[in-house]
Amino acid sequence: MGETGQLRSLDDALALLPHKDPFVFVDEIVYLEPGVKAVGIKRVRPDEFWVPGHFPDRPTMPGVLIIEAMAQVGAVALLAKDVDGVRKNPKESAKGRRLLPLFAGVDKVRFRRPVRPGDSLALETELLGTWGNFGRARSIAQLTDGSPVAEAELMFALGDLDGGDL
């Protein structure tokens, strides 16, 4: 990030997430339209924490982790919205709160095919609208060859990372 909070590159975009390993499910952001849409890539590795137990004879990425990856891409689009030099810290609201994107709901979820180690996912999340501290997004996950994997509508709330109310 630049001193003014501006994104200098797409690599900076992942720094907007409050998530840390082992709970970051996006490897890179390849497209970002702040406040509108983001596209990220998740490379599914054979050393992922879930591989030994889900399922030992046929490792399959849990659907909830695919949904989480989709939400993390949406969080980048959302948190980048005001990264225009107005705020010193892009993770903070205009009132100085450090923002924490939280799930408020998931609708219209469909899983189209299993995801296994060695696959790469393209995750596209578009913000449909926000009102107050809440919003809705539409997300699609597909293999990098275009094969559909999952889709969902995601509802979110912006909380206070420092423990305040929504």
Q: Is the peptide bond before 23 cis (omega within 30 degrees of 0)?
A: no
Mean pLDDT of 63-85: 86
**What digits encode the pLDDT tens for the residues 82-137?**
644 333 344 455 555 678 899 999 999 999 999 999 999 999 999 999 888 899 99
Q: Is residue 166, in this structure, part of any structural domain at all? A: no
Q: Which domain holds residue 86?
A: 10-160
pLDDT at 161: 78
> Which residues are identified as catalytic?
54
Q: Is residue 4, in this structure, part of any structural domain at all? A: no
Taking the C-alpha atoms of residue 47 and residue 150, their distance in angstroms, rounded to an integer, is: 22
Which CATH number fits the domain that encloses residue 82? Answer: 3.10.129.10
Q: Is residue 165, in this structure, part of any structural domain at all? A: no
More confident residue, 61 or 83: 61
Q: Is residue 33, in this structure, part of any structural domain at all? A: yes
Taking the C-alpha atoms of residue 160 and residue 111, their distance in angstroms, rounded to an integer, is: 32
Q: Is residue 88, in this structure, part of any structural domain at all? A: yes
Q: Is residue 142, in this structure, part of any structural domain at all? A: yes
Binned at pLDDT 50, 70 and 90, residue 4 comes out as: very low
Q: Is residue 112, in this structure, part of any structural domain at all? A: yes
pLDDT at 85: 36
Count of the separate structural domains present in the chain:
1
Q: Is residue 102, in this structure, part of any structural domain at all? A: yes
Taking the C-alpha atoms of residue 102 and residue 14, their distance in angstroms, rounded to an integer, is: 16
